[in-house]
Amino acid sequence: MSTATTTTATTDLRLTPAAGRIGAIVHDVRLGGELPAETVAAIEAALYEHKVLFFRDQQHLDDAGHEAFARLLGHPVGHPTVPSADGRYVFELDATKGVRANNWHTDVTFVPSYPKASILRALELPPAGGSTVWANTAAAYQDLPEPLKVLAESLRAVHTNDYDYAASLALRPELADNAEIANLFRQVFVSTAFKTEHPVVRVHPVTGEKNLLLGAFAQRIQGVAGADSKALIALFQRYVERLENTVRWDWQVGDVAIWDNRATQHYAVNDYGDEPRLVRRITLDGDLPVGVDGAPSRLLEPAEPPRVAGLVPAEELETEAAEAAKVAAAQAAGAGAAVTVTADRG
Ligand SMILES: [Fe+2]
């Protein structure tokens, strides 16, 4: 595989392409909160160009270092419904506890301002399998024949976290049969049912590229009934999943992957049986999508939106959380332990 060097105005990154249309391995960078600004700028530029970046040998990163690095690229946000693993922003995906994300999706698209990027680090891996595949949704749009581009640009899709989650359990019958796990997952992950209308073609706010915005949370097309709605989603989603538009990453412990969540979908391959697989993710606050006509995404449900990520700016949430923590500490020092539940679903 050849090695290419991307040059920015201020610094160089040594990159190796990971596939033809998406993905690059970044060499010689030690991730953390102390990275110089020019390196951060180069990483951001590479991220927008390649959509997903891979960094090997980042074992030094702990949750705090993960968050410190994340803050150089944006503002961390928690999951809208699932409690964090560290009481802050870390979303843990533990295959032994949760449902596995073996479907094509963009993280958290059931809220309007879904995350702009995700940063995932691998802590424990199965002896074989457990890789992740990313797809380039800008390339998928570009692959569409002209009449389908016109059609896609005219459509709006409803994304929800309250879909037939039981169907997604079908590939793991041992979990589907476990009523306790299935109920717990539903209670936590769908503790608030969100419905959001997004354009099917989102204009990327940084690159200006047009991206197909679909994935597993997209459940129907506005104004199109039942089977036709599903057929339209399947038609466009097929372009996203074309192998030519994907990169598959075989994880090693210590790897970090960063993806542009506004320009990709991903799929966690569930081929490792009962072996453990533990990864931790921090997502960065996103912005309100717009279609090619400039019309923004909008929340349809619930009628009284909770104050959560994707609906309220991260800075406001952080201020509120700090104040709430102060009040809680004053009220009850040493009260009951928090219960943390993880769900492997972005
Ligand atoms: Fe995900």
Report the amino acid identity of residue 328: A
CA of 95 from ligand 1 middle (Å) equals 13
Q: For 161-185, what is each residue's pLDDT tens digit?
A: 886 554 555 445 555 556 666 666 6
**Is 107 tagged catalytic?**
yes
Tell me, what's the pLDDT at 51? 98
Given 105, 156, 204, 220, the catalytic residue: 105
**Is 281 tagged catalytic?**
yes
Give the residue ranges of the chain where pLDDT is below 70: 1-10, 98-99, 163-188, 334-346
Ion ligand 1 neighbours, Cβ < 5 Å: 101, 107, 346
Sort 147 into a burial class: Cβ within 10 Å, 0-12 / 13-18 / 19+. exposed
Radius of gyration of the chain (CA): 20
CA of 120 from ligand 1 middle (Å) equals 10
Helix (H, G, I), strand (E, B) or coil at 222: coil
CA of 334 from ligand 1 middle (Å) equals 34
- Nearest of 47, 81, 50, 88 to residue 66 by alpha carbon: 88
CA of 346 from ligand 1 middle (Å) equals 4
Alpha helices (H) in 74-177, listed in sequence order: 137-143, 146-153, 165-168, 173-176
User: From CA 224, how far away is CA 72, in angstroms rounded?
Assistant: 42
Given 66, 121, 202, 281, the catalytic residue: 281
Assigned token pair, 159: 């994304």
CA of 251 from ligand 1 middle (Å) equals 15
CA of 264 from ligand 1 middle (Å) equals 10
CA of 92 from ligand 1 middle (Å) equals 11
CA of 105 from ligand 1 middle (Å) equals 6
Distances, alpha carbon 190 to alpha carbons 160, 217, 247, 286, in Å: 9, 12, 30, 21
CA of 165 from ligand 1 middle (Å) equals 15
For residue 55, list its beta bridge partners: 256
CA of 139 from ligand 1 middle (Å) equals 20
CA of 14 from ligand 1 middle (Å) equals 27
CA of 268 from ligand 1 middle (Å) equals 8
Given 50, 156, 262, 266, the catalytic residue: 266
Given 63, 107, 143, 255, the catalytic residue: 107
**Is 105 tagged catalytic?**
yes
